[in-house]
Structure 1
Amino acid sequence: MYKHERLDNGLDVILVQRESMMSASILFGVKVGSAMENESIAGISHLIEHTVFRGTEKRNSVQIKNPIEEVGGELNAFTSKNFTVYFSKIPTTKVSEAIDILSGLVFEPKFRSEDIEREKSIILEEIASYEDDPGSIVIENLYQHIFDEDFARPVLGYRQTVTNINYDIIIDYYSKFYHPQNVYVVIVGKFNEDKVLNQLNSINWSKNNCSIKSELKSPEIKKEDIKIERTKKDLSSNYIVQGFIAPPKLSKDYYATLILNTFLGSGMSSLLFSKLREESALVYEVASHYEAYPLRGLLLFFALSNDEKIPLLLDKFEEIIIMIQNQNKIGKWFNYGKNRLIGQLTLSMENNLSVALTIFDLYVNYDKIITMEEFINQIEKTEIEDVIRVAKSISQSNKYISLLSPGI
């Protein structure tokens, strides 16, 4: 049963009661991410996400983590281009305490200067690890050349910007975005509904006249063919990403693109794996990824291959793009993608957190509740003609290639 409440304090709450469960998942989603930053404070959304775990008005770092983890639960967070999400998976008996902890992270962080400096140091190490990771490098190189500046920046920010962020800058940014009108709460599992609503409604926050009600952003994508070639020492393989403009999340073709992405690159039975690894032995790893924003979308092919195979690999990519426009050739792949995607979504319904994250994502994008059952039904109604239409549109878009090769 789905229940939607806009509370007196401004919080937007979605409750999904599942009496058969002995656990629940809770998320507090804040509509702020790296796309809301500017170049001088790149990485601040992610830094705030880190720092709040150091202490709140009621709890120190041990009191934040221990009550959840000592009962086998999980407490974590992540930052993306449009969102910062704090979440917990707990036994039913810990729902109230988890809400108290999560609401403290979102609305009552202490932001001690020494904690900010500690987390800055940790994030600088995280940035260094990303700079060593060829998979991260090749995709960030692509983003930097095809997206507008708000989406070209890495979520982690840059060494210099993270180093320069201080307490005053954090407080100013936090005050603008962390308020109930920007926060969504989703709870899925077994819990006492009245108790949860009363607890959430009792949450107070410091009202701020500078508060900003965020709007989801979408990247501007350059409309020209782009190829970026870089080298990195100590690589043994070439890392390649090829991108194509794809339908956005609010498009009628969103569900068809999900199916297309699934049969292209999900699993060892996928088209890319079958054609490029099993049949042609051109790659060691291959996958696809669909990145959908409200008004823009990007379909990506990833592969690892040797130097001499890159030209043939790019030719094979082109052959596959042509192939997926032919109904006679993709019938079995369409069935595979549709059935696999429905199966994945069905299995994800066993996981309260997966359900919560999906409901949150759909709600903030469509401004209405779309249940998991309705979501799956949209996939079931999608026909092969819809996928072919998407494939043809993708084939006519600009092509973006990022290549990272072994260097001397």
Structure 2
Amino acid sequence: MYSHKILDNGLDVILVKRDSMMSASVLFCVKVGSSKETKENAGLSHLIEHISFRATKRKNTFEIKQPIEEVGGVLNAFTSKNFTVFFAKIPSLKVNETLEIMSEILYEPLFKEEDIEKEKGIILEEISSYEDEPINIVFENLYKNVYDDNFSRPIMGYKDTVMNIKKTTIEEFHNKYYQPENTVVIISGKFDEDSVLKQLNGIKSIANLNSFKNNITSPSIVDKEIFIKKYKNDLASNYLVQGFKAPPKLDKSYYSTLVLNTFLGSGMSSLLFSKIREEEGLAYEVTSDYETYPKAGLLLFYAATTEKNLENLLGKIEEVVEDLKNNKEIEKWFNYGKKRLIGKLTLEVENNLSMALNVLDLYVNYGKIITIEEFIKNIEKVEIHNVVETAKNIFSNNKYVSILSPKNQ
């Protein structure tokens, strides 16, 4: 089912054959993101992602998008701290044409001055919209105080840095990182293996294969208590994020933390939803998230509540944390978390894009292919005592709190 090859041009290719499907997903992951930028060019990776769809040496923007979209397909991309990922979902008959289009987007974009300026304007609007959202603000305030500089900057950058990025800076950054030997390609679904490998091997490499090394990095996390409270006009609710240092992706406690995070905040049957919303009525929305890197991790709680309920909400979260540290009622929640996590993974991989993204996440972090079946088996091995020990360790760490409250008029 899984085939892994390093091609002559350096492309790292993983093929997941699923011949029962009538579709496929194609994913190109360039191993560079916002953490590789400087303070002065913050937002550069995200800007390149945008401009790449404007024009290539042989195609204009309509010729890039129309062949995929006219058959009901999707062509898109996203930028993260460590990666820029371009992806497509298409009917199987369109795989080879999609590979041609995507390889041109990645390796042959035309960085025309007028296109650069247009995309800068679009990104400024995107930043304005992002900065208006209280959820984004409360998380960014936390990251600024918890992560090191390279990971605390917003992926989109800042308005002034984006506006000041020069064409020469874009081209130098692109030439350095957008190389086949710095790219992982994953195709999941129905396709002709020999045909796609021949096509991918035809992509030319510019860099020296023997000298290019670009390992993904992890943030450093502060080792002290953090409490930030900021205010914003025109808010009706208080927004809260509370975090703890958690095991990194390569730690032996990674799988038990996944189970812990799932029963804490995934679904309306989760612990946080049950205890804080259903029983106490302290928040309309409450959830958890596990943010991981190879050598760093954060377990985060998020909630939105009214001014009168804020203090009680903080107290209830503290009570939940103490109960978990003392192993109260954990068996009920453990079973829910483990079953839900396995079930969600099983459902997700029915989708070719979800399958490709899962394979990518595991591969780039572990440096080897871990199948979804193997991943699920690792979750199945997690026992209650593993989660109890993990919860005690996590909740004994420093507490990081970020609150965004309405500004009194």
TM-score range, shorter chain: over 0.9
Contact 1:27–1:88 (CA under 8 A) maintained in structure 2 = yes
After TM superposition, the score normalised by the length of structure 2 is 0.98
Tell me the number of residue pairs that the alignment of Structure 1 and Structure 2 aligns: 408
Cα gap change, 1:244/1:6 in structure 2, threshold over 3 Å: closer, same or farther?
Answer: same
Contact 1:9–1:201 (CA under 8 A) maintained in structure 2 = yes
Provide the residue aligned with 1:299 in structure 2. Answer: 299
The 3-state SS of whatever aligns with 1:78 is: strand
Compute the displacement of 1:207 (Å): 3.5
Contact 1:107–1:205 (CA under 8 A) maintained in structure 2 = no
Provide the residue aligned with 1:289 in structure 2. Answer: 289
Cα gap change, 1:81/1:379 in structure 2, threshold over 3 Å: closer, same or farther?
Answer: same
Cα gap change, 1:25/1:169 in structure 2, threshold over 3 Å: closer, same or farther?
Answer: same
| Partner Cα distance (1:128, 1:205) in 2 | 38
> Following superposition of structure 1 onto structure 2, how do residues 107-186 of structure 1 map, counting pairs within 5 Å?
107-186=107-186
Provide the residue aligned with 2:82 in structure 1. Answer: 82
Contact 2:181–2:209 (CA under 8 A) maintained in structure 1 = no
In the alignment, residue 339 of structure 2 is paired with which amino acid? N
The answer to whether residue 23 in structure 2 is matched with residue 13 in structure 1 is no
Provide the residue aligned with 2:320 in structure 1. Answer: 320
| Partner Cα distance (2:302, 2:169) in 1 | 38
Unaligned runs of 5+ in 1: none
Provide the residue aligned with 1:374 in structure 2. Answer: 374
Provide the residue aligned with 1:217 in structure 2. Answer: 217
Provide the residue aligned with 1:341 in structure 2. Answer: 341
The answer to whether residue 28 in structure 2 is matched with residue 28 in structure 1 is yes
- Residue deviations 1:17-61 (CA, integer Å, cap 9, x gap): 001000000100000000111100000000000000001112110
Compute the displacement of 1:310 (Å): 1.4
Contact 2:239–2:403 (CA under 8 A) maintained in structure 1 = yes
The 3-state SS of whatever aligns with 1:340 is: helix
The 3-state SS of whatever aligns with 2:52 is: helix
The 3-state SS of whatever aligns with 1:39 is: coil
Contact 2:10–2:205 (CA under 8 A) maintained in structure 1 = no
> Following superposition of structure 1 onto structure 2, how do residues 250-265 of structure 1 map, counting pairs within 5 Å?
250-265=250-265
> Following superposition of structure 1 onto structure 2, how do residues 190-269 of structure 1 map, counting pairs within 5 Å?
190-207=190-207, 212-269=212-269
The 3-state SS of whatever aligns with 1:287 is: strand
| Partner Cα distance (1:35, 1:207) in 2 | 21
The 3-state SS of whatever aligns with 2:362 is: helix
| Partner Cα distance (2:241, 2:259) in 1 | 20
| Partner Cα distance (2:263, 2:211) in 1 | 43
| Partner Cα distance (1:271, 1:214) in 2 | 40
| Partner Cα distance (1:321, 1:331) in 2 | 15
| Partner Cα distance (1:148, 1:154) in 2 | 12
| Partner Cα distance (1:66, 1:354) in 2 | 23
More displaced 10-residue stretch of structure 1: 318-327 or 178-187: 318-327
CA RMSD of aligned residues (A): 1.3
Unaligned runs of 5+ in 2: none
Compute the displacement of 1:215 (Å): 1.2
Contact 2:180–2:203 (CA under 8 A) maintained in structure 1 = no
Provide the residue aligned with 2:96 in structure 1. Answer: 96
The 3-state SS of whatever aligns with 1:29 is: strand
| Partner Cα distance (1:306, 1:157) in 2 | 31
| Partner Cα distance (2:87, 2:158) in 1 | 26
In the alignment, residue 226 of structure 2 is paired with which amino acid? I
Contact 1:177–1:211 (CA under 8 A) maintained in structure 2 = no
Cα gap change, 1:194/1:209 in structure 2, threshold over 3 Å: closer, same or farther?
Answer: closer
Percent identity reads 60
More displaced 10-residue stretch of structure 1: 75-84 or 104-113: 104-113
Compute the displacement of 1:327 (Å): 3.9
Contact 2:120–2:162 (CA under 8 A) maintained in structure 1 = yes
Provide the residue aligned with 1:50 in structure 2. Answer: 50
| Partner Cα distance (2:403, 2:192) in 1 | 52
- Residue deviations 1:59-113 (CA, integer Å, cap 9, x gap): 1100110001000011000000000000000000000011111111111111111
| Partner Cα distance (1:212, 1:153) in 2 | 26
Contact 1:142–1:400 (CA under 8 A) maintained in structure 2 = yes
The 3-state SS of whatever aligns with 2:235 is: coil
Cα gap change, 1:203/1:351 in structure 2, threshold over 3 Å: closer, same or farther?
Answer: same
Contact 1:175–1:208 (CA under 8 A) maintained in structure 2 = no
More displaced 10-residue stretch of structure 1: 315-324 or 268-277: 315-324
Compute the displacement of 1:313 (Å): 1.1
Contact 2:10–2:209 (CA under 8 A) maintained in structure 1 = no
After TM superposition, the score normalised by the length of structure 1 is 0.98
Contact 1:244–1:300 (CA under 8 A) maintained in structure 2 = yes
Compute the displacement of 1:210 (Å): 12
Provide the residue aligned with 1:395 in structure 2. Answer: 395
| Partner Cα distance (2:360, 2:395) in 1 | 32
More displaced 10-residue stretch of structure 1: 363-372 or 314-323: 314-323
| Partner Cα distance (2:208, 2:341) in 1 | 44
In the alignment, residue 161 of structure 1 is paired with which amino acid? T
| Partner Cα distance (2:130, 2:339) in 1 | 35
Contact 1:177–1:213 (CA under 8 A) maintained in structure 2 = no
| Partner Cα distance (1:159, 1:211) in 2 | 35
